[in-house]
Each structure stands twice: as C-alpha cells, then as structure tokens.
Amino acid sequence: VEMCGGIPFLIPLQKKIEDVEKLLDVADGIILPGGNDIDPSFYHEKTRAECGEIFHEVDQLYLWAIELAEKLNKPLLAICKGHQMLNIAYGGNLYQDLHVQKKDVEEHSQEIARHLPFHEIQIKKDSILYDIFSDKTMVNSFHHQAIKDLSEDFDIVAESSDGIIEAIFKKEGSWMLGVQWHPEMMASNVEQMKAVFQLLIDQCQKR
C-alpha cells in the first residue's frame, strides 16, 4: 500500500457492525488479507475434520467489512481468505479441503519461500488483470481451501490449470477484486504484483 502511495491502518476486532462502520468511514478503501480457515457455518455446512483452525469473530468482521464496502461504496481488495470470504458473502461456498473434495487437484500450499512463484494461472482476456499480466502469470500459493460454487455476483478473472478459481471481480455495485494468491509477498520482487495494489489505490483516489 505504501509503495503505491497509500497509508495503511489496521481495523481491530470489533463486536458491533456499527463500530466497524465508524472506523471504515475514514478509510478510502479496504483490504481483506489472508488468514485462518473460514467457519463453514457461514456457508451453511458442518465442519469437516480436514478444516483447519477457525476464528468465528474474525470471519464475522470480514463479512461486516464486505457489507459496509457495498453500503459505503468503498473499493475492496480481498486476498486469499478474503477472496474466499467475498464469495461467501454473496452466497457462494468453499471446498473445505481441496485434496479431499476435488479430483485431480494440484498442490496449492507451497513449502518454498513465500515470495517465490509456485504455479501458473491463466488470466481471462479483457478482464481487470489482463492489462497487468496478459494471459498468464506465475503466483505463489498458501491454501488448502478454495472457492467451490461461485456467487452469481462475480466474474471469474483467473484460474489455475486444475480449475481452481484464482481471481474474481464483482459485476456490479462497489468495486471488489479477489485474488487467491498473495501479491503482497511478491510485490517487492515482481512489479506486476505491486500493480494489483495500484488498482485499489487508483480507485481510492477516484473517490
């Protein structure tokens, strides 16, 4: 964010949406970062044994932030867990564990250094990321959950070769972009990853 001319500040965990709204009112945009697995109760499923550690209160904060981004017309960039929560907020769901629930899935949780690229993704032509990456790029990867059924409110922007949804963009309403990888970990070494954040900063400046 700083590299793109913005000033980041953190929203602490809150127990009331009214308090979150007061805090977000002073922000020009919102970033939902990565984190723990998402509580399956938010997409009306029971928790499978393969689901990792969850924090219900944090998940609720993410949902409130998405709701308020729409209400207050704040641009929103969602990363990894945030990307998945975007889909849930608009009626979609997740694979609780890719290797158990999806056939022929590749490895999506790398053990090499976090800033290094791990697998390729294909970018949809004429999408919001196409001008940055063209038709494909290499990304890092740290997840075992992923979008399963995509909300009708979003278009697919990028996918991996095994069919995992790697980026989504909201069709109408407030500007919302979700990416499954971690561009913040690659931004110091790959100029194109910094450009993902520049998209958000540009939207903030327009408002």
Report the catalytic residues. 80, 182, 184
CB within 8 Å of 18: residues ≥ 6 apart:
none
Write the DSSP string, 21-87. HHHHTT-S-EEE---SBPPGGGGT-PPPTT---B-HHHHHHHHHHHHHHHHHT--EEEETHHHHHHH
Sign of the four-CA dihedral 117, 120, 121, 125: positive
For residue 90, give the nearest of 3, 172, 206 by alpha carbon.
172
CB within 8 Å of 7: residues ≥ 6 apart:
1
Q: What is the CA radius of gyration of the chain?
A: 16
Sign of the four-CA dihedral 118, 56, 92, 168: negative
Amino acid letter, 55: F
